[in-house]
Structure formats: structure tokens, C-alpha cells
């Protein structure tokens, strides 16, 4: 299954810098666009899907801090502030107003790349959780899980899961990127009133789920704690 395209927006009045960042961050399944001021940015955000905003603080028609506050009233869109001002007070202020990260000029493209990737990974996790919560359909890479109709496919091929495996899978994908403790999984899966459940039952269910879903790398064991569905 084709990966979803992530949409990045760079708001920077230095167009040479903005275009350089656009070229540096552009890659497959990633669209990067530029705006030169707050007005253009506000219009773009209202009309287009955006997954990450890289926002300069000092803009011709106002402060990026003000736009950030405006965004935070209605949206949890990831925002990385970009500025030449490295005063600690400004950095703290930006983070307290809701910025996800703060980078001061001059900066390393490698550092910016890493921080952008971190925010996009977090965004992907958030969207996957919302998808699982709101629509009961979860999609990622080669998998599609329809918990409403209990249909589970791998690379387009349907696989049959037991009731135990369905419960286990639902708990894992509802907490993508987070370790779910063994105790939580056992309490939530075996709810038939049984006084005692062999702890090996969970290990067996995990192994079967990995094999059926071709997810040996995706379902990772966190030794001594539990299991996590990797991003």
C-alpha cells in the first residue's frame, strides 16, 4: 500500500532560504511548500492540508508568535519555530505558547532534518491513533485492519484471526509506538472471569499474531515490560 503524503509548509520571508529548505526537505511522499508572510500562511492553512509548519518568528506583517497562538486556539498542528533570536526567554516563550520545537539560525540542515522527521513520526502516530479510535479502521504499510467488520488484510490478502488475536491486535494498534504492559494485555483480553490464565498464553498469542500478519519486526517485545506496535 502506498504511503500517505505528508504536507510541510515553510513560512520564511527570506525566499532564498525558504527555497533552499524546500529542496532539502523534499522527498518521496513528502510535499513541501513555502509562504513568505503570515497572511499567505493563514490562507494556506485554511485551504490546504498541512502536517507540519516550519514558522519564522520575524515576518514582514507580524510575529510568528502571534500566528502560533492563533493556530493553537483550534489546532494541534506541529509547529517548529525558526528564528535568528537565540535568547533563552524567547525560546521558553515559544515553547510555552505551544511550539513543538525551536531552531535558531544559523542551523545545521542535518539537525533540522532530524527534528522534522521526529515531528512527522509523531504526527503519523497521532493520525493512526485517531483513525483507530474514530473509524475502527487502521491502515499502515502492508496492513489494513477493519475492526468494525473484523476483516484483516496483509498486502491485500485477507487473514483470519481468533477472537483473542483480534483483541490483542486492537490494543496494540490503539497504542501505536507505546509499550503496552503484559499485565494490561492479559487483563483486557482474558475477561471471561477466569481466575487463572497461564502467562504463556499471551506469548503464544503474540507469536501467532506475528506469523499471521507477517509482523515479526512490527510487533516488538520490550523485555520485562510488554509489547509495542512499532511506528
pLDDT at 134: 56
CATH T-level fold of 6-132? Rossmann fold (3.40.50)
Q: Is the pLDDT of residue 131 over 80?
A: no
| CA torsion through residues 50, 56, 57, 62, sign | negative
pLDDT at 3: 57
CATH class in words for 137-229: mainly alpha
Q: Rounded to an integer, what distance in angstroms lies between the CA atom of residue 89 and that of residue 181? A: 39
**Residue whose entry in the numeric block shows the C-alpha cell 514582514:** 60
pLDDT band at 214 (very low <50, low <70, confident <90, very high): very high
Percent of the chain with pLDDT over 70: 91
pLDDT band at 195 (very low <50, low <70, confident <90, very high): very low
- CB neighbours (10 Å) of residue 189? 20
The residue with greater pLDDT, 106 or 114, is 114
pLDDT at 169: 94
Strand partners, 101: 80
With contact defined as beta carbons under 8 Å apart, do 166 and 146 qualify?
no
Segments making up each domain of the chain, as ranges: 6-132, 137-229
The residue with greater pLDDT, 135 or 102, is 102
Give pTM, 2 decimals: 0.58
pLDDT band at 197 (very low <50, low <70, confident <90, very high): low
Amino acid at each position: 500500500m502506498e504511503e500517505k503524503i505528508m504536507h510541510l509548509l515553510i513560512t520564511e520571508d527570506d525566499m532564498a532560504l525558504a527555497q533552499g529548505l524546500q529542496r532539502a526537505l523534499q522527498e518521496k511522499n513528502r510535499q513541501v511548500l513555502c509562504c513568505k508572510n503570515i497572511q499567505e500562511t493563514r490562507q494556506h492553512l485554511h485551504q490546504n492540508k498541512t502536517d507540519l509548519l516550519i514558522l519564522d518568528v520575524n515576518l514582514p506583517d507580524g510575529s510568528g508568535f502571534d500566528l502560533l497562538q492563533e493556530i493553537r486556539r483550534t489546532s494541534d498542528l506541529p509547529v517548529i519555530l525558526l528564528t535568528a533570536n537565540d535568547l533563552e526567554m524567547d525560546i521558553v516563550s515559544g515553547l510555552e505558547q505551544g511550539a513543538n520545537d525551536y531552531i535558531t539560525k544559523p542551523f545545521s540542515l542535518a539537525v533540522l532534518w532530524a527534528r522534522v522527521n521526529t515531528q512527522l513520526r509523531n504526527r503519523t502516530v497521532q493520525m493512526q491513533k485517531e483513525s483507530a479510535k474514530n473509524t475502527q479502521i487502521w491502515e499502515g504499510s502492508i496492513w489494513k485492519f477493519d475492526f468494525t467488520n473484523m476483516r484483516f488484510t496483509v498486502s491485500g490478502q485477507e487473514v483470519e484471526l481468533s477472537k483473542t488475536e483480534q483483541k490483542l491486535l486492537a490494543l496494540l494498534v490503539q497504542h501505536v509506538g507505546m509499550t503496552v504492559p503484559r499485565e494490561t494485555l492479559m487483563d483486557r483480553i482474558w475477561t471471561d472471569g477466569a481466575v487463572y490464565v497461564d502467562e504463556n498464553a499471551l506469548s503464544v498469542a503474540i507469536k501467532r499474531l506475528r506469523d499471521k500478519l507477517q509482523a515479526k519486526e512490527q510487533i516488538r517485545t520490550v523485555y520485562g515490560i510488554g509489547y509495542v506496535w512499532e511506528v
